[in-house]
Protein backbone atom coordinates (compact mmCIF):
# COMPACT_ATOMS: atom_id res chain seq x y z
CA UNK A 1 0.00 0.00 0.00
CA UNK A 2 3.02 2.23 0.25
CA UNK A 3 4.39 2.11 -3.25
CA UNK A 4 1.32 3.50 -5.05
CA UNK A 5 3.29 6.49 -6.23
CA UNK A 6 5.86 4.35 -8.00
CA UNK A 7 3.27 2.96 -10.38
CA UNK A 8 3.13 4.62 -13.79
CA UNK A 9 -0.61 5.30 -13.52
CA UNK A 10 -2.28 8.48 -14.72
CA UNK A 11 -3.59 10.88 -12.12
CA UNK A 12 -7.15 10.23 -10.98
CA UNK A 13 -7.85 13.94 -11.53
CA UNK A 14 -8.53 13.05 -15.15
CA UNK A 15 -11.86 11.38 -14.43
CA UNK A 16 -13.16 14.49 -12.66
CA UNK A 17 -12.37 16.81 -15.57
CA UNK A 18 -14.99 17.84 -18.10
CA UNK A 19 -13.15 18.70 -21.31
CA UNK A 20 -12.68 15.16 -22.57
CA UNK A 21 -16.32 14.32 -21.91
CA UNK A 22 -17.40 17.32 -24.00
CA UNK A 23 -14.92 16.21 -26.67
CA UNK A 24 -16.39 12.70 -26.72
CA UNK A 25 -19.95 14.00 -27.07
CA UNK A 26 -19.04 16.48 -29.81
CA UNK A 27 -17.13 13.91 -31.85
CA UNK A 28 -19.91 11.34 -31.56
CA UNK A 29 -22.43 13.97 -32.68
CA UNK A 30 -20.17 14.66 -35.63
CA UNK A 31 -20.00 10.96 -36.52
CA UNK A 32 -23.79 10.65 -36.25
CA UNK A 33 -24.24 13.39 -38.81
CA UNK A 34 -21.25 12.70 -41.05
CA UNK A 35 -21.78 8.95 -40.80
CA UNK A 36 -25.14 9.27 -42.48
CA UNK A 37 -24.43 12.04 -44.95
CA UNK A 38 -20.97 11.43 -46.35
CA UNK A 39 -20.45 9.27 -49.39
CA UNK A 40 -19.54 5.67 -48.85
CA UNK A 41 -18.18 3.11 -51.33
CA UNK A 42 -20.86 1.37 -53.37
CA UNK A 43 -20.60 -2.29 -52.57
CA UNK A 44 -22.84 -5.19 -53.53
CA UNK A 45 -24.78 -6.82 -50.68
CA UNK A 46 -23.53 -4.14 -48.27
CA UNK A 47 -25.29 -1.14 -49.81
CA UNK A 48 -25.90 1.50 -47.16
CA UNK A 49 -25.26 -0.96 -44.33
CA UNK A 50 -21.57 -0.18 -44.68
CA UNK A 51 -22.38 2.83 -42.50
CA UNK A 52 -22.72 0.34 -39.66
CA UNK A 53 -18.92 0.38 -39.56
CA UNK A 54 -19.15 3.80 -37.88
CA UNK A 55 -21.22 2.41 -35.03
CA UNK A 56 -20.58 -1.32 -34.75
CA UNK A 57 -16.78 -1.31 -34.78
CA UNK A 58 -16.40 1.55 -32.25
CA UNK A 59 -18.38 -0.55 -29.74
CA UNK A 60 -15.58 -3.11 -29.87
CA UNK A 61 -12.90 -0.44 -29.65
CA UNK A 62 -14.62 1.00 -26.59
CA UNK A 63 -14.79 -2.48 -25.10
CA UNK A 64 -11.09 -3.11 -25.72
CA UNK A 65 -10.20 0.21 -24.14
CA UNK A 66 -12.02 -0.36 -20.87
CA UNK A 67 -10.94 -3.99 -20.68
CA UNK A 68 -7.33 -2.89 -21.15
CA UNK A 69 -7.68 -0.28 -18.41
CA UNK A 70 -9.21 -2.96 -16.24
CA UNK A 71 -6.20 -5.25 -16.69
CA UNK A 72 -3.81 -2.39 -15.91
CA UNK A 73 -5.64 -1.73 -12.65
CA UNK A 74 -5.87 -5.43 -11.83
CA UNK A 75 -2.08 -5.57 -12.07
CA UNK A 76 -1.86 -2.38 -10.00
CA UNK A 77 -4.12 -3.93 -7.38
CA UNK A 78 -1.96 -7.03 -7.10
CA UNK A 79 1.11 -4.79 -6.82
CA UNK A 80 -0.21 -2.51 -4.11
CA UNK A 81 -3.29 -4.03 -2.48
CA UNK A 82 -5.04 -0.69 -2.90
CA UNK A 83 -8.77 -1.50 -2.94
CA UNK A 84 -9.55 1.49 -5.16
CA UNK A 85 -7.70 -0.18 -8.02
CA UNK A 86 -9.86 -3.23 -7.56
CA UNK A 87 -12.99 -1.07 -7.82
CA UNK A 88 -11.70 0.54 -11.01
CA UNK A 89 -10.94 -2.87 -12.51
CA UNK A 90 -14.43 -4.19 -11.75
CA UNK A 91 -16.28 -1.21 -13.09
CA UNK A 92 -14.18 -1.20 -16.25
CA UNK A 93 -15.08 -4.84 -16.83
CA UNK A 94 -18.76 -4.08 -16.20
CA UNK A 95 -18.73 -1.23 -18.69
CA UNK A 96 -16.74 -3.29 -21.17
CA UNK A 97 -19.27 -6.11 -20.93
CA UNK A 98 -22.04 -3.64 -21.71
CA UNK A 99 -20.26 -2.50 -24.87
CA UNK A 100 -19.53 -6.15 -25.65
CA UNK A 101 -23.27 -6.87 -25.70
CA UNK A 102 -23.89 -3.83 -27.89
CA UNK A 103 -21.16 -5.01 -30.27
CA UNK A 104 -22.56 -8.53 -30.45
CA UNK A 105 -26.15 -7.41 -31.01
CA UNK A 106 -25.27 -4.82 -33.66
CA UNK A 107 -23.07 -7.44 -35.32
CA UNK A 108 -25.94 -9.93 -35.39
CA UNK A 109 -28.28 -7.33 -36.79
CA UNK A 110 -25.81 -6.50 -39.52
CA UNK A 111 -25.13 -10.18 -40.21
CA UNK A 112 -28.83 -10.85 -40.77
CA UNK A 113 -28.89 -8.52 -43.75
CA UNK A 114 -25.48 -9.23 -45.22
CA UNK A 115 -24.63 -12.82 -44.31
CA UNK A 116 -28.22 -14.02 -44.30
CA UNK A 117 -28.70 -15.00 -40.68
CA UNK A 118 -28.34 -13.49 -37.25
CA UNK A 119 -26.02 -16.29 -36.27
CA UNK A 120 -24.24 -18.34 -38.90
CA UNK A 121 -21.68 -20.01 -36.62
CA UNK A 122 -18.99 -17.93 -38.21
CA UNK A 123 -15.62 -18.29 -36.45
CA UNK A 124 -15.70 -14.61 -35.50
CA UNK A 125 -19.17 -14.88 -34.00
CA UNK A 126 -18.46 -18.10 -32.17
CA UNK A 127 -15.22 -16.97 -30.62
CA UNK A 128 -16.80 -13.63 -29.68
CA UNK A 129 -19.53 -15.57 -27.90
CA UNK A 130 -16.97 -17.72 -26.07
CA UNK A 131 -15.01 -14.64 -25.02
CA UNK A 132 -18.25 -13.10 -23.79
CA UNK A 133 -18.85 -16.12 -21.56
CA UNK A 134 -15.31 -15.61 -20.26
CA UNK A 135 -16.31 -12.21 -18.93
CA UNK A 136 -19.65 -13.49 -17.64
CA UNK A 137 -17.62 -16.02 -15.68
CA UNK A 138 -15.65 -13.10 -14.23
CA UNK A 139 -18.85 -11.63 -12.80
CA UNK A 140 -19.94 -15.02 -11.45
CA UNK A 141 -16.56 -15.68 -9.90
CA UNK A 142 -16.45 -12.28 -8.30
CA UNK A 143 -19.93 -12.45 -6.85
CA UNK A 144 -19.37 -15.90 -5.45
CA UNK A 145 -16.60 -14.83 -3.06
CA UNK A 146 -17.67 -13.06 0.12
CA UNK A 147 -14.33 -12.20 1.61
CA UNK A 148 -13.25 -8.84 0.20
CA UNK A 149 -9.50 -9.24 -0.20
CA UNK A 150 -9.80 -12.75 -1.53
CA UNK A 151 -12.45 -11.60 -3.99
CA UNK A 152 -10.30 -8.73 -5.20
CA UNK A 153 -7.20 -10.87 -5.58
CA UNK A 154 -8.80 -13.82 -7.31
CA UNK A 155 -10.83 -11.68 -9.69
CA UNK A 156 -7.75 -9.59 -10.51
CA UNK A 157 -5.79 -12.71 -11.40
CA UNK A 158 -8.70 -14.09 -13.40
CA UNK A 159 -9.03 -10.78 -15.24
CA UNK A 160 -5.35 -10.76 -16.17
CA UNK A 161 -5.67 -14.24 -17.68
CA UNK A 162 -9.04 -13.62 -19.33
CA UNK A 163 -7.87 -10.56 -21.26
CA UNK A 164 -5.21 -12.19 -23.48
CA UNK A 165 -7.51 -15.17 -24.09
CA UNK A 166 -10.25 -12.77 -25.16
CA UNK A 167 -7.85 -10.99 -27.52
CA UNK A 168 -6.71 -14.27 -29.04
CA UNK A 169 -10.29 -15.47 -29.44
CA UNK A 170 -11.54 -12.30 -31.09
CA UNK A 171 -8.53 -11.01 -32.97
CA UNK A 172 -6.26 -13.97 -33.71
CA UNK A 173 -8.16 -17.26 -34.09
CA UNK A 174 -10.78 -15.99 -36.60
CA UNK A 175 -7.96 -14.72 -38.77
CA UNK A 176 -6.42 -18.15 -39.05
CA UNK A 177 -9.48 -19.65 -40.68
CA UNK A 178 -11.99 -18.46 -43.23
CA UNK A 179 -14.57 -16.12 -41.87
CA UNK A 180 -17.31 -14.00 -43.34
CA UNK A 181 -16.26 -11.11 -41.13
CA UNK A 182 -13.99 -8.57 -42.85
CA UNK A 183 -10.47 -8.59 -41.62
CA UNK A 184 -10.38 -12.37 -41.34
CA UNK A 185 -9.07 -15.21 -43.44
CA UNK A 186 -5.77 -13.42 -43.95
CA UNK A 187 -7.05 -9.93 -44.81
CA UNK A 188 -6.10 -7.02 -42.66
CA UNK A 189 -9.08 -5.41 -40.97
CA UNK A 190 -10.40 -2.28 -42.69
CA UNK A 191 -8.74 -3.47 -45.88
CA UNK A 192 -8.82 -1.65 -49.18
CA UNK A 193 -11.62 -3.91 -50.37
CA UNK A 194 -14.31 -2.53 -48.11
CA UNK A 195 -13.04 0.83 -46.97
CA UNK A 196 -11.88 4.03 -48.54
CA UNK A 197 -10.22 7.04 -47.02
CA UNK A 198 -13.51 8.92 -46.84
CA UNK A 199 -14.72 6.42 -44.31
CA UNK A 200 -11.63 6.67 -42.16
CA UNK A 201 -12.35 10.37 -41.65
CA UNK A 202 -15.48 9.36 -39.76
CA UNK A 203 -14.35 5.99 -38.42
CA UNK A 204 -11.20 7.01 -36.58
CA UNK A 205 -12.78 9.93 -34.70
CA UNK A 206 -15.63 7.55 -33.83
CA UNK A 207 -13.12 5.14 -32.32
CA UNK A 208 -11.61 7.84 -30.13
CA UNK A 209 -14.96 9.28 -29.08
CA UNK A 210 -16.63 5.99 -28.19
CA UNK A 211 -13.53 4.91 -26.26
CA UNK A 212 -13.72 8.16 -24.29
CA UNK A 213 -17.44 7.65 -23.71
CA UNK A 214 -16.82 4.15 -22.38
CA UNK A 215 -14.11 5.49 -20.06
CA UNK A 216 -16.54 8.18 -18.91
CA UNK A 217 -19.28 5.68 -18.08
CA UNK A 218 -16.76 3.43 -16.34
CA UNK A 219 -15.49 6.40 -14.31
CA UNK A 220 -19.05 7.30 -13.25
CA UNK A 221 -19.65 3.73 -12.14
CA UNK A 222 -16.35 3.72 -10.30
CA UNK A 223 -17.20 6.95 -8.46
CA UNK A 224 -20.55 5.55 -7.37
CA UNK A 225 -18.90 2.35 -6.23
CA UNK A 226 -16.25 4.29 -4.36
CA UNK A 227 -18.94 6.14 -2.39
CA UNK A 228 -20.65 2.84 -1.61
CA UNK A 229 -17.35 1.35 -0.58
CA UNK A 230 -16.53 4.25 1.74
CA UNK A 231 -19.96 4.10 3.33
CA UNK A 232 -19.58 0.39 4.02
CA UNK A 233 -16.18 1.00 5.51
CA UNK A 234 -17.49 3.46 8.08
CA UNK A 235 -20.39 1.27 9.16
CA UNK B 1 -12.91 26.45 -21.20
CA UNK B 2 -10.05 27.40 -23.52
CA UNK B 3 -9.55 23.76 -24.35
CA UNK B 4 -13.23 23.31 -25.18
CA UNK B 5 -13.20 26.34 -27.46
CA UNK B 6 -10.11 25.04 -29.19
CA UNK B 7 -11.76 21.67 -29.71
CA UNK B 8 -14.88 23.29 -31.13
CA UNK B 9 -12.71 25.24 -33.53
CA UNK B 10 -10.83 22.14 -34.65
CA UNK B 11 -14.08 20.26 -35.19
CA UNK B 12 -15.46 23.17 -37.20
CA UNK B 13 -12.35 22.88 -39.36
CA UNK B 14 -13.28 19.28 -40.12
CA UNK B 15 -16.75 20.31 -41.23
CA UNK B 16 -15.34 22.74 -43.76
CA UNK B 17 -13.09 20.03 -45.14
CA UNK B 18 -16.13 17.82 -45.66
CA UNK B 19 -18.12 20.50 -47.36
CA UNK B 20 -15.40 20.75 -49.98
CA UNK B 21 -15.24 17.05 -50.54
CA UNK B 22 -18.90 16.44 -51.21
CA UNK B 23 -20.13 16.01 -54.73
CA UNK B 24 -18.80 13.63 -57.33
CA UNK B 25 -19.83 10.11 -56.34
CA UNK B 26 -23.56 9.69 -56.33
CA UNK B 27 -25.10 7.36 -53.82
CA UNK B 28 -28.56 7.38 -52.33
CA UNK B 29 -28.79 11.09 -53.06
CA UNK B 30 -32.53 10.86 -53.39
CA UNK B 31 -32.72 9.21 -50.05
CA UNK B 32 -30.89 12.11 -48.53
CA UNK B 33 -33.15 14.76 -49.99
CA UNK B 34 -36.56 13.18 -50.50
CA UNK B 35 -36.09 10.12 -48.38
CA UNK B 36 -36.01 12.42 -45.36
CA UNK B 37 -32.76 11.04 -44.03
CA UNK B 38 -32.25 14.33 -42.25
CA UNK B 39 -35.19 13.43 -40.06
CA UNK B 40 -33.41 10.29 -38.97
CA UNK B 41 -30.24 12.24 -38.28
CA UNK B 42 -32.21 14.75 -36.23
CA UNK B 43 -33.79 11.92 -34.25
CA UNK B 44 -30.57 10.15 -33.37
CA UNK B 45 -28.90 13.47 -32.64
CA UNK B 46 -31.68 14.39 -30.22
CA UNK B 47 -31.44 10.98 -28.55
CA UNK B 48 -27.70 11.21 -28.22
CA UNK B 49 -27.77 14.80 -26.95
CA UNK B 50 -30.36 13.68 -24.41
CA UNK B 51 -28.19 10.81 -23.27
CA UNK B 52 -25.16 13.09 -23.08
CA UNK B 53 -27.05 15.63 -20.95
CA UNK B 54 -28.21 12.76 -18.76
CA UNK B 55 -24.62 11.58 -18.29
CA UNK B 56 -23.46 15.12 -17.48
CA UNK B 57 -26.28 15.41 -14.93
CA UNK B 58 -25.18 12.20 -13.23
CA UNK B 59 -21.63 13.52 -13.26
CA UNK B 60 -22.70 16.75 -11.57
CA UNK B 61 -24.79 14.99 -8.94
CA UNK B 62 -21.89 12.71 -8.15
CA UNK B 63 -19.61 15.72 -7.76
CA UNK B 64 -22.05 17.18 -5.25
CA UNK B 65 -22.20 13.96 -3.24
CA UNK B 66 -18.42 13.64 -3.34
CA UNK B 67 -18.04 17.18 -1.99
CA UNK B 68 -20.35 16.49 0.93
CA UNK B 69 -17.97 13.88 2.29
3-state per-residue secondary structure call for B1-58? CHHHHHHHHHHHHHHHHHHHHCCCCCCCHHHHHCCCHHHHHHHHHHHHHHHHHHHHHH
- Residue B60 inside a domain? The answer is yes
- Residue B43 inside a domain? The answer is yes
State pTM to two decimals: 0.84
B4 — pLDDT class (breaks 50, 70, 90):
low
- The predicted structure's pLDDT at residue A74: 96
From A73, A66, A77, A140, select the one nearest A102 (Cα to Cα): A66
Helix axes A83-114, A53-80, angle to 10 degrees: 160
- Residue B53 inside a domain? The answer is yes
Point out the residue among A28, A32, A34 whose CB comes nearest to the CB of B18.
A34
Residue-wise DSSP of A117-166: SS----HHHHHHHHHHHHHHHHHHHHHT--SHHHHHHHHHHHHHHHHHHH
With CA atoms as reference, the chain A residue closest to B30 would be: A37
Query: How confident is the model over A29-62, as pLDDT tens digits?
Result: 999 999 988 888 888 888 888 899 999 999 999 9
Dist CA A68 CA A66 (whole Å): 5
Is B25 in CB contact (< 8 Å) with chain A?
yes
A36/B18 CB distance under 8 A: no
Sign of CA dihedral A16, A17, A22, A25: negative
Which of A223, A230, A234 best probes binding to B when mutated, by most B CB atoms within 10 angstroms? A223
Cα B54 to its chain centre, rounded Å, is 15
Asked if A221 and A66 count as a contact pair (C-beta separation under 8 A), the reply is no
Lowest mean pLDDT among A139-143, B19-23, B42-46: B19-23
Is B42 in CB contact (< 8 Å) with chain A?
no
- Computed over its alpha carbons, how large is the radius of gyration of chain A? 19
Asked if A37 and A84 count as a contact pair (C-beta separation under 8 A), the reply is no
Domain that holds residue B36: 31-69
Asked if A182 and A122 count as a contact pair (C-beta separation under 8 A), the reply is no
Name the DSSP class of A170.
I
Dist CA A168 CA A158 (whole Å): 16
Give exposure, A84-111, as e/b (b: 16+ Cβ within 10 Å): bbbbbbbbbbbbbbbbbebbbebbeebb
- The predicted structure's pLDDT at residue A129: 96
- Residue B48 inside a domain? The answer is yes
A27/B11 CB distance under 8 A: yes
- Residue B3 inside a domain? The answer is no
Contacts of B3 in chain A (CB under 8 A): 19
B59/A220 CB distance under 8 A: yes
- The predicted structure's pLDDT at residue A2: 47
Residue B9 buriedness (CB in 10 A; 0-12 / 13-18 / 19+): exposed
Is B11 in CB contact (< 8 Å) with chain A?
yes
B59/A21 CB distance under 8 A: yes
Name the DSSP class of A10.
P
A22/B4 CB distance under 8 A: yes
Nearest-neighbour CA in chain A from B44: distance (Å): 7
CB pairs under 8 A between A and B: 72
Query: In chain B, how many domains are there?
Result: 1
- Residue B19 inside a domain? The answer is no
Query: How confident is the model over A152-165, as pLDDT tens digits?
Result: 999 999 999 999 99
How many of the other CB atoms lie within 10 Å of CB of A10?
9
ipTM of the complex: 0.79
- Residue B2 inside a domain? The answer is no
Query: How confident is the model over A74-118, as pLDDT tens digits?
Result: 999 999 999 999 999 999 999 999 999 999 999 999 999 988 999
Q: What is the mean pLDDT of chain A?
A: 90
- Residue B59 inside a domain? The answer is yes
- The predicted structure's pLDDT at residue B18: 53
Amino acid sequence: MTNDKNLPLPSMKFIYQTWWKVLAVLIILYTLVAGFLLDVPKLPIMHETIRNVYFHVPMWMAMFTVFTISVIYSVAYLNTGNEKYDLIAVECVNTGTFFYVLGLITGMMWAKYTWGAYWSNDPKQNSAAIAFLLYCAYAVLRNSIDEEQKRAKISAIYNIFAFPIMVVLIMVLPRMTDSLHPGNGGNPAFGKLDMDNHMRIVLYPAFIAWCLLAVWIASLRYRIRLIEYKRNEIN
Amino acid sequence: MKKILLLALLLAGCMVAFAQQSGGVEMADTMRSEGKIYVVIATITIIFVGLAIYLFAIDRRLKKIEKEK
